[in-house]
Amino acid sequence: MALPSRGPAAAPPRVLTVAGSDSGGGAGIQADLKAMLALGVHGMSVITAVTAQNSLGVQGYWELPAEAVRAQFRSVVDDIGVQAVKTGMLASVELVETVSELLAAVDAPVVVDPVGVSKHGDALLAAEAVATVRTKLLPVATLATPNLHEVAQLTGITVRGQEDMAQAARALLDLGPRWVLVKGGHLEGEAADLLYGGPGEEHWYRAPRYDNRHTHGTGCTLASAVAAELAKGQEMPGAVAAAKEYVTGAIAAGFALGAGIGPVDHGWRTRVRA
């Protein structure tokens, strides 16, 4: 059937991801762009590092020069513009400093996923860069989305149950972001996350926990989904709720690839299954 003739379509909201490339396609830039497409926004990318990565883990990574990261960012932002930005793997002190400086001048929501380690426990951030994330990157974030390992890395607080998540959120908010989403996915029981923006701005999001080990890319996908919803005009609590619903479905539909942990299914809403 021929499509009706018409003029150029209006551009969808534009979201930029600043992150590393996952050669296996489950996390990083690849997951970010898939989630953005699924949620109806135009995804763009600044690649900070290239990883050799598959279902078994990260075999190596090579960060890009700061000037290459800066040139990609300026190329996109100065011409196309952005309505939200999401950051992921930044790898080194120099890249964290470079990206923090660039983001400070952006008039759009910034979702920071403070990536420290991969799903398999492989380090994706130099140990000496943690302090730079704490002092330079978090203060320019509209929202920070740490998992519990990253909470401990950034604050020294070990979250052992949901009752500890509020303390962790307060400590993270003191580091400068406007909002914090503490992700409780590594705890037992239901998957509960806490969004905190200060006194009177505490929101819990709960979902069933699915018996599915194929969860590679969960953190990248959630942060990208929040950025997409913010770009579409949602307020933060509604953006997180929509992103949580999307990523919960993606986890439930996660599938096996290779010999290890497979990815979440970014296209779960439209995929036809046998």
Q: Active-site residues: which are they?
A: 183, 215, 217-220
Half-sphere exposure of 27 (CA within 13 A, CB side): 30
With a CB cutoff of 8 Å and minimum separation 6, the contacts of 156 are none
| CA 20 from centre of chain | 11
Question: At 193, which helix (H) or strand (E)?
Answer: strand 191-196
Torsion of CA 44, 248, 20, 228, to 10 degrees: 20
CA-based nearest residue to 103, from 80, 79, 115, 85: 85
DSSP 270: T
CA angle 139, 140, 146 (to 5 degrees): 70
**Cα–Cα distance measured from residue 124 to residue 20, given in angstroms and rounded to the nearest whole number:** 9
Instruction: Assess contact for 60 and 252: CB atoms under 8 A.
Output: no
Instruction: Assess contact for 132 and 93: CB atoms under 8 A.
Output: yes
**Cα–Cα distance measured from residue 27 to residue 215, given in angstroms and rounded to the nearest whole number:** 10
DSSP 233: T
Question: At 8, which helix (H) or strand (E)?
Answer: none
User: Helices in the chain by DSSP H: which ranges?
Assistant: 28-38, 66-79, 93-103, 130-132, 148-155, 165-173, 218-231, 236-252
